[in-house]
Amino acid sequence: MACRHCAVEHAAGTSCPGSFSRAASLEGQRHGPLLLRSVVGSGTLGTVYLAEHPPSGHRFAVKVLHPHLASRPLVRSRFLAEARALRGLVHRNVARVLDARRGPGGLPCLLMEYAEGERFSQLPVPLPAAEVVELLDQALDALEAAHARGLVHGDVSADNLVLGWDARGWRRVKLLDFGANAVLSASLSEEERACGMVVGSPAFIAPEQWAGEAVDGRADLYALGVVGYLLATGRLPFGFGRVGTLAAAPPHQLEPRVPEALSRVLLRALAQRPEERFASAREFREALGAVPGTSTSPRRTRTSKGTLSLFGQVVPEDGATPLHVALLDAAHGREEAGPPVSGPRVAAPEGLGVRLGLGRDAELVRVTVGDVTVDGFFAHWVGPLPPLAAQVPVELSFQGSVVACDCDVVRHVTVEEARAWEGASGLCVQFASEAARRLLGQALGVQGVPRGGPDAEPVPDGELARLLARAAVVMKDPYALLGASRGEDFEGVRRRVSATLRRLSAFGQRRLPTGQRRALEVLRRQVELAGRTLGEPLARVGFDAVRGNLAGVSRCVEAGLTDERVEPLRKAFLEARPLAESRARALFTQGHALEVGHSLEEALTRYAEALALDPLNTSWLRHYQDLRARTRAVSVALDPVEAPTASF
C-alpha cells in the first residue's frame, strides 16, 4: 500500500523520508519576522506550522516543503510556480497564499492565511439539510472563483475544508491546500504513473482521476458531492476506496431528514461520467438553492428555518438569541457602546523620522508612525497597501543616525477597521535588521529585553473582546449562551456544549493578556454550567418551570423523568405561589368543557393558561400534548407556545 505521507510504496522496514519527526521540527525557529509556534499538521507535501508575529499576535500558517521533495528540482519549481499562481486567488472562502520564499534550513515555504476552525471531517454529522446546503454553498463559491481563473483544486476533501467564524460572528468556510495536488503529481515518476498511482484523498477522488485521465473543475464538484453526502448522512457514499461501478444509495433513504430534492442534487454531483454532473460550480449552487426548505447566501448564514447562531447551531428566526442579535447589530453598525477595541494610537518617540517605500516604484515617502517597538511599528497610509508578507524598503532616522533596510508587512489596517477603531488606516511592519532594532531601541530608551518581544504582555485579541462583550449580555441565560431553542433535546444540548467549548478552547491557544484569559475561563465555566443545567432532566425541569418554558419541561418528561421525581418539585413550586394551583385547576376545567364541546382551539388556549400556572403537572401536560398533536398534526415535541399569561 502507498505511504500516506508521500504516496509511494517503501520497502519493508524502511521509514518514509517525508514522515514528520518531532526531532526535525522547526518549532521555535523564525521565518522572517514570524516565530514558528507549533505544528498544525504534516501531510504528503510538507509540514504546516502555526506562525505568530509576536508583537501584534497576528497569526499565519507556514507550509514547509518536505526535505526529500525540496531536493527534487521539478517539485521545487512546481511548488514555487503554484504559489505564484495562487497569490492572485483572493476570496473570502479560500485560505490565501500570501508569499513563497526560502525558510529555515533553506527549504521552500508557503506563507498562508491561518484558517482557524473545525475541519469538516470533525463535524458532528449528520447535519440538518439547511446547514449542509449552507456549507456546500460557501465551498462552491470558492471553487467558482478558482475555476474562473483556470485553477483546479484536485484534492477537495472533508479534511481540507474548515468551518470557522469571521470577525462579525458569521460562520465562514475556508478551502485549504490549493495547488498541493499539482505539486504532488509532479513528484510521481513515469513508472509510478504507469502503475496507476494517483494523488489525492481516495474517498473523494473522481473516477476519471482514478483512471489517470485529464481532469477539470468537474472533478472538484464530484469531491464536493462526496463531502455533501457525508455531511447529510454521516457516511461516505463509496467507503474509503475506489468508486467502482456501483451507484451510491440515495441519501434520503439513509437519513430521513434529507429532502429528496437535496438527495437528487448530491447524486447528480456524484455521477461517474463528468458530463452527467453539473457543468460548473455555479450550476451546482443554483441546484442547491432550489432545494425546498433551505436558502443559500455566501455572505449571510441564514436558512429559511432559522438563523445559525454564533456557535453554529440553528435557532428559530423568532427565537434568535440576544448574543446572535447583538452580533448582527455590531455587523450593521447598531452596536451599543462596549469595551473599546484599541487601534494603533500610541505616538512615536519624539525625533524619530520614518520613510517607507510605499510610493510609485517603491519610492520612499515620509509616514506618520505609532505603536513603535524595537521590532517594528504601525505606519499610517491611506493609499494602496502592499501585500501581506511583502518586503518594503524603509529609512529610519534619529538624532543624526540613519538606517536603511527592508521590513516585512505583517498586518493591514483597512479603512473599515480604522473607522471601527476610530483610528487610522495603514500597515504594521517588522524588522529583521539589528541596526534598525538598535536605532528604535535608542529612540525608545529601551535597554535589555526589547519591548514587544516574546515575553511581553500580548495585546488584547479583538475577536475575543467582541465575543466576551456579547456573551456578558446573556451569561445568565443558558439557552441564549448556547444558542439553543427552548425545546432543545438533550443530545442537541450536549452537542452545543461540546461545540462551544471547542470554540473557546481555540481562543485559549492564542497569546492573550491576563485579563482576557481570566474572562475566557469565566465564560468557559458558564458554558459548562449551562450544560449541566440543561443537560440533565431533573435539573432542567425545575429551571424551565420557574421560567415558564413549557417546551423545556416537555422535553424533560419525554426523556423519562417520572411523576414521582417531578412531584416534590411541583409541590415546592406551588407552595411558593399560594393561589396558582386553584386558578390553574379552574382554567383546566374550563378547557375540558370546551374540549367536550369540540371547541378544540379554545380548549388548547385554556390548557396553556393552566400550565403557565402549574407547569409541572405532568398529567395535564401529556393531555395538552396529545390534544395539540391530534388537532394540529404536529410533532409531540412542543415548540414554544404563547399564552396570555406567559411566553413559553
Active site residues: 155
Residue in the structure block whose three cell numbers are 483546479: 152
Question: Distance (Å, rounded) from C-alpha 616 to C-alpha 619?
Answer: 9
Query: Can you read off the three cell numbers belonging to residue 202?
Result: 481516495
Per-residue burial over 137-149, b if 16 or more Cβ lie within 10 Å, else e, is bbbbbbbbbbbee
Query: Helix and strand tally (H, E) in the chain?
Result: 23, 21
Residue 325 neighbours by CB under 8 Å, 6+ apart: none
Other Cβ atoms less than 10 A from the Cβ of 195: the count is: 11
Helices 537-546 & 514-535, crossing angle to 10 degrees? 100
Report CA-CA distances (Å) from 401 to 154, 393, 442, 489, 517. 54, 17, 10, 69, 41
Beta-strand relationship, 171-175 and 161-165:
antiparallel
Q: Distance between CA 156 and CA 221 in Å, rounded?
A: 9
**307 Cβ contact list (under 8 Å, min separation 6):** 301, 314, 315, 316, 317, 320, 324
Other CB atoms within 10 A of residue 81 CB? 15
**Phi first, then psi: what are they for 157, rounded to 5°?**
-155, 175
Q: Examine residue 207 and say whether the peptide bond preceding it is cis (omega within 30 degrees of 0).
A: no
Provide the b/e sequence for 562-587 (b: ≥16 CB within 10 Å). Answer: eeeebeebbeebbeeeeebbebbeeb
279 C-beta neighbours (distance < 10 Å), count: 12
How buried is 206 (Cβ within 10 angstroms: 0-12 exposed, 13-18 middle, 19+ buried)? buried
Helices (H), 445-513: 462-474, 478-482, 490-508
Residue-by-residue DSSP string for 335-375? PPP-S----S-PBPPTT-EEEEE-SGGG-EEE--EES--SS
Task: Please give the grid coordinates belonging to residue 525.
Answer: 465555566
- What residues have CB less than 8 Å from 267, skipping those under 6 apart? 225, 247, 248, 250, 251
Place of cell 509616514: 367
- Asked if residue 520 lies in contact with residue 512, where contact means CB atoms within 8 angstroms, the answer is yes
Closest listed residue to residue 382, CA positions, set 407, 408, 406, 359: 359
How far the first Cα of the chain sits from its last, in Å, is: 59
Count CA atoms closer than 13 A to 491's CA, side-chain side.
3
Q: How far apart are CA 191 and CA 394, in angstroms?
A: 51
